[in-house]
Structure 1
Amino acid sequence: MDDKIERDEICKRIEKLKSDYLIKVAVDETGWETLYQDPNDNRYWLLTYPNSEYHGGGPPTLKVITSIEAFEIFGID
């Protein structure tokens, strides 16, 4: 049995957005949450790995957050 984890289309899309489009703004002190910003509309995007029980935190999650949430998590104005 092969225990290798395959990246699905969502993971591939998140990787593409991270590398080619979004701008990295900050990383939290744990290293598990990263704040990105969309250069076109300035929305903030939070990248997390919510399945800490899996190796590497499991698959990533990318979601829009408000500027207030960005400030609360990262101290970003």
Structure 2
Amino acid sequence: MEKEIIGKWVFKDGKTVADANCHLIESMIKNDLKEFENSEDGWTRRYKHTNGSIWELTYPESHLYGGGPPKLSRIEK
């Protein structure tokens, strides 16, 4: 399993669209992860995977509109 999944926004046909990693992160949050902690400002969230691993969701390009694309990192215990 990956240690880090970094989403990107790409320009296609004159529009900004999410790449495959953005969709993977979205799918993992919907199907495999359960949120258990978030930062006071709401930009960092921690999740527990169904396999017991801990993941952290951040937005490293937060200067972009809407917070930018997501980044999901597995945290080593």
More strand by share: 2
Give the alignment partner of residue 6 of structure 1, picking from 9, 12, 17. 17
Q: Specify the SS of the correspondent of 2:69.
A: coil
Normalized against structure 1, the TM-score is what? 0.76
Give the alignment partner of residue 15 of structure 1, picking from 26, 39, 46. 26
Query: CA offsets per residue over residues 20-46 of structure 1, 9 Å max, x none?
Result: 111111111010001001122x11100
Give the alignment partner of residue 43 of structure 1, picking from 21, 43, 53. 53
Give the alignment partner of residue 33 of structure 1, picking from 23, 44, 52. 44
Give the alignment partner of residue 64 of structure 2, picking from 45, 50, 54. 54
TM superposition outliers: structure 1 runs of 4+ over 4 Å: none
Normalized against structure 2, the TM-score is what? 0.76
**Which structure has the larger Rg?**
1
